[in-house]
Amino acid sequence: MSLEVLRWNELADIKDELAQRDWFMGTSGNLSIKVDEDPFTFLVTASGKDKRKRTAEDFLLVDCKGRPAGETSLRPSAETLLHVEVYNLTNAGCCLHVHTVENNVISEIYGDEGKVVFKGQELIKAFGKWEQDAELTIPIIYNSADIPTLARDFAVHLKDEWGAVLIRNHGITVWGRNGFEAKKILEACEFLFRYELLLSQYKSLPKPYQTVK
C-alpha cells in the first residue's frame, strides 16, 4: 500500500470519528495529513463537502503551497492556507479544524482577552502538561474573512509541534505530530470547553440549586 493510501485511510477514519460526534455541521470543518517530505505533499479535505459521508473524493493531494499536486476537479478546502502554515512552521503531521457550538461560545466569551486559560484540569495533560500547577493557554484570534490574513494571524501561534488556536465565532484548529495526537488534542479541548460552559451555568444558579444532595 502506498504512503498516500495509508494516510488517506488514516484521515478518513479520523473524519468518520469526528463525524460521529457531529462536529461537521453544515459542511464546516477541514482536515489534513502530511504524506511526503520531498517533494512536500499533504492530503486535505475537498472544499464544501458533507464531511459525514465517506467518498473517493473526500481528499486531494496538495503541495507545500496548498495547490493541487495533480490533475483534479476538486477544490482544496477554503482554509488550506492555515494547514500550509502548520506544516511550514512546525513538525506536525496532521491538522484538524472543526466548528462546534462549544468552541464558538468559548471563543466569544473569552474573545476580548485573546485567550482562554485552563488550570487544575486533568485533561491538560493531553498537551504534555504534567506539572502540578500547569496552565494551558489557547489563543483566540479574530475571524478575518480574508484567508491569507487569517492564516498570518494564526501562524503567530505556531510554536510547538502540537497545539490549538480558537478562531472567534468560527471554530478551532489543532495540530499534532500525527493523526492520533491531533485528535487527542481536539477531544481534550472540546472536553475543557464543555466543562467550562457547564460549570459557569452551574455557578450562575441561585445557591440552593448549587447544593448537591
Ligand X SMILES: CSCCC(=O)C(=O)COP(=O)(O)O
Decide if residue 128 touches ligand X (CB under 6 A).
no
Distance in Å, CB of 107 to Zn ion, minimum: 12
Question: Hey, what's the cell of 197?
Answer: 460552559
Strand locations in 115-192, DSSP E? 115-119, 135-141, 163-167, 171-176
| Residue 27 touches which of Zn ion, ligand X, none (Cβ within 5-8 Å per kind) | ligand X
Of 86, 60, 63, the C-alpha closest to 73 is: 60
Pick 29 or 93: Cβ nearer ligand X: 29
Distance between terminal CA atoms of the chain?
58
Of 35, 141, 27, 147, the C-alpha closest to 82 is: 147
Establish whether 83 is an annotated binding residue: no
Establish whether 157 is an annotated binding residue: no
Pick 30 or 90: Cβ nearer ligand X: 30
Beta strands 30-37 and 40-45, pairing class: antiparallel
Decide if residue 66 touches Zn ion (CB under 5 A).
no
Instruction: Specify the DSSP class assigned to residue 75.
Output: P
User: According to CB under 5 A, which one of 111, 171, 176, 179 is a site residue for Zn ion?
Assistant: 171
Decide if residue 26 touches ligand X (CB under 6 A).
yes
Dist CA 135 CA 21 (whole Å): 27
Return the residue nearest ligand X (CB atom): 77
| Residue 121 touches which of ligand X, Zn ion, none (Cβ within 5-8 Å per kind) | none
Q: Which residues contact 46 (CB under 8 A, 6 or more apart)?
A: 57, 58, 59, 60, 74, 75, 76, 77
| Residue 156 touches which of ligand X, Zn ion, none (Cβ within 5-8 Å per kind) | none
User: According to CB under 6 A, which one of 10, 19, 40, 47 is a site residue for ligand X?
Assistant: 47
User: According to CB under 6 A, which one of 77, 100, 104, 173 is a site residue for ligand X?
Assistant: 77
User: According to CB under 6 A, which one of 17, 48, 156, 210 is a site residue for ligand X?
Assistant: 48
Dist CA 26 CA 99 (whole Å): 10
User: Which helix (H) or strand (E) is 55 found in, with range?
Assistant: none
Decide if residue 30 touches ligand X (CB under 6 A).
yes
- Footprint of Zn ion on this chain (CB under 5 A)? 171
- Footprint of ligand X on this chain (CB under 6 A)? 26-30, 45, 47-48, 77-79, 97
